[in-house]
Copies of this chain bind each other. A is one copy, B any other.
Amino acid sequence: MSKLTVEEAKQFRVGPDFQLADVDPTATPDVSDVDDVFHDYDDDLDDLQRRLFANSRVGNDNAGSVLLVLQGMDTSGKGGIIRHVIGETMDLQGVHVKAFGRPTEEEASHDFLWRFYEHLPEPGQISVFDRSHYEDVLVQRVKQMAPPEEIERRYGAIVEFENEIAARGTKIIKVMPHISRDFQAQNLKERIERADKHWKYNAGDIEDRKLWSQFMAAYQIALTRTSTDVAPWYCIPSDNKKYCRSVIKALLFDALDSLDLEWPEPDFDPEVELERLANS
């Protein structure tokens, strides 16, 4: 029973030669039974996030923070990642989850990045974006909801935006949970048939599905042009949901670990306080 290593998780990092078409959504490289590795990082994530949160509570503005961006096709498992990776290993007091839908009228009247600022993590926090500013170069590109030159401008604007976030001490992890078109059909079928899943189904999902190859082309461009050292993309095979979640745990572990978090030093003298306590 071998651990899924950080290096193995990083094989999914999008580099300059990345070809989305070469990623097999059904693969589970380096893992024979995903149940063997799924909990590898749970204790570490718990410990590291407590440290991060503790630092924020004592007002350490240099504690650092983490931004996890989840951007994938319908039914690719974004909600499950939030629930099973974040919810089950971390203290929700230090976590901010934001799902981004269609922009409101006010939001649409500002630059496309405007609405994301207020959801960036504070020092000591972890923010999770369920969909993100990438909608503005994915669905908006595919459905021509903005002029080509505006779409073109956005790639650069996103890179600048993310550089700015990283410069504040935020570790950025961007994940595309990559599923096959067949797996999506299976998932949509469940949403149509099951009463407890109806609410997740949208008639418009079928329209998007018909544009699958256009979406894949838009992802190919977006991922390649915006995967940077400070804000890398990971395109993770996700027909096996638990595999994807295991990889994300390893990536989160690596990001938190790189913050080098110590427990905050006490701002009191333990001997003195024990004495005060004894006399209280």
Residue numbers of A with Cβ under 8 A of B are 50-51, 54-55, 57-58, 79, 82-83, 86-88, 90-93, 95, 97, 99, 130, 185, 188-189, 192-193, 195-196, 198-201, 203, 206, 209-210, 263-266, 268, 270, 273-274, 276-277, 280
Most B-side CB within 10 Å, residue of A58, A88, A93, A201: A93
Number of copies: 2
| Inter-chain contact A193/B270, CB cutoff 8 Å | yes
CA gap between A51 and B200 in the complex, in Å: 12
Contact of A199 among B200, B210, B263, B273 (CB under 8 A): B263
| Inter-chain contact B266/A206, CB cutoff 8 Å | no
**A interface, over-half SS:** helix
Contact of A277 among B189, B264, B273 (CB under 8 A): B189
- 16 further contact pairs, Cβ within 8 A, besides A54-B199, A83-B91, A195-B263: A58-B199, A87-B91, A88-B88, A93-B99, A189-B274, A189-B277, A192-B270, A192-B274, A193-B274, A198-B263, A198-B266, A198-B268, A201-B266, A201-B268, A201-B273, A206-B277
